[in-house]
Amino acid sequence: MSKVTVREARKDDFQQWEPLWDGYTRFYEREPNEEITAVLWRRAFDPYEPIHILVAEMDGRIVGIVHYLYHRSTSLIAPVCYLQDLFTENGLWGKGVGRALIEAVYARAQQAGAARVYWMTHETNATAMKLYDNIAEKSGFLQYRKNLT
């Protein structure tokens, strides 16, 4: 197995990043939206936006992506890091790409002074939860939401 390298996304990564982003949206049973994709990509390179993108490469090819952002918390002084999206090529699930991306977010969040990294996944995402159960703790919280648009 080739070595996984994680780095910050560059503007010229779009062509390799977009199919993974589309795969992520389809995994969660949504259709890709060109406007959302364009805005997300633009925000990632805007220094006034809190969104960050890392990519995982193997043999010079992007095989995984992670999006994360920092925000304030009412229960902590330091910011917290929300790992919002994580996706790897289907054939690489369970091969260390997701772990490498999460550990890279951990390192960056620690450097930024964040108090915690957290994320959510769907209760049916059993493959990912095998990894998550080994590298983080379940918080016990359930998510409730109401779509307004």
pLDDT for the residue numbered 90: 86
> Quick one: which of 116, 124, 118 has its CA closest to 140?
118
Maximum separation of any 2 CA atoms in the chain, in Å: 45
Amino acid identity at 85: D
pLDDT for the residue numbered 29: 80
pLDDT for the residue numbered 138: 92
pLDDT for the residue numbered 77: 97
Residues listed for the chain: 149
In this prediction, the residues of the chain whose per-residue pLDDT falls under 50 are none
Domains in the chain with CATH codes: 5-135 (3.40.630.30)
Beta-carbon count within 10 A of 72 CB: 9
φ and ψ at residue 108, rounded to 5 degrees: -65, -40
What does pTM read for this prediction? 0.93
Burial track 98-124 (b if 16+ CB lie within 10 A, e otherwise): bbbbbebbbebbeeeebeebebeeeee
3 state DSSP class of 29? coil
Q: Do β-strands 116-118 and 80-88 pair in parallel, antiparallel, or remain unpaired?
A: parallel
pLDDT for the residue numbered 1: 63
